Amino acid sequence: MSLEPQDVVARTRRWLERAVIGLNLCPFAGSVYRQDRIRYVVSNASDEAAVLGELVTELRRLHEADSASVETTLLILPAALVDFLDFNDFLAVAESVVAKLGLEGELQVASFHPGYRFAGTLPDDPGNATNRSPYPTLHLLRERSISRAVDAYVGIEEIGERNAETLRRLGNEGWARLWQEPTKD
């Protein structure tokens, strides 16, 4: 598996197209994706300290950016926090950084990881795939965008359970098929 930045972004975009948007796991992602307002940042970090520095930079950059150009940022970590428990522990650090920068109520951090596992589930539970991405990824979001989406979307509270049901119906084999390239005759 290549860790060249363009390949990392291509795999991430394919995940967005096939899973997040294709399976409608996030009903708000499609328009931002089609409008090309997602900033993809491939990190060279290999340890938490370096990730922390990049997170601070990207939070500031998103806060200062015009939302008409950049609505959200995916900070992709192909060489850092590869262990899910380490990644999960780092999320508390990420939340504290948002607070220390005075950005609470403006920005928040969502998380995706190839080994994502919801509390109380088995590792192979297909429902875990709702938050599984090709690489550890910190998704930096504008809270006003989330508020607008929540206000406009009927049934917001059912998205998580609907996603888990969709993925359980798809199953682990179906999830794996999403990543296969079509064969050419």
pTM for the structure as a whole: 0.94
Q: Please determine, for residue 171, whether its predicted confidence score (pLDDT) is greater than 70.
A: yes
Residue 181 lies in a domain: no
Model pLDDT, residue 2: 66
Segment 84-111 mean pLDDT: 97
pLDDT tens readout for residues 114-141? 999 999 999 999 999 999 999 999 999 9
Residue 48 lies in a domain: yes
Beta-carbon-side half-sphere exposure of residue 37 (alpha carbons within 13 Å): 19
**Range(s) of the domain holding residue 25:** 5-175
Residue 184 lies in a domain: no
Q: Please determine, for residue 182, whether its predicted confidence score (pLDDT) is greater than 90.
A: no
pLDDT tens readout for residues 37-55? 999 999 999 999 999 999 9
C-alpha to C-alpha distance for 107 and 145, rounded to whole angstroms: 10
C-alpha to C-alpha distance for 162 and 110, rounded to whole angstroms: 19
C-alpha to C-alpha distance for 6 and 10, rounded to whole angstroms: 6
For the chain, how many structural domains are there in total? 1
Residue 185 lies in a domain: no
- Tell me, what amino acid is at 90? F
Instruction: Pick the more confident residue, 131 or 2.
Output: 131
Residue 180 lies in a domain: no
Beta strands in the chain (DSSP E): 38-42, 72-76, 107-112, 137-142
Model pLDDT, residue 156: 81
Model pLDDT, residue 42: 98
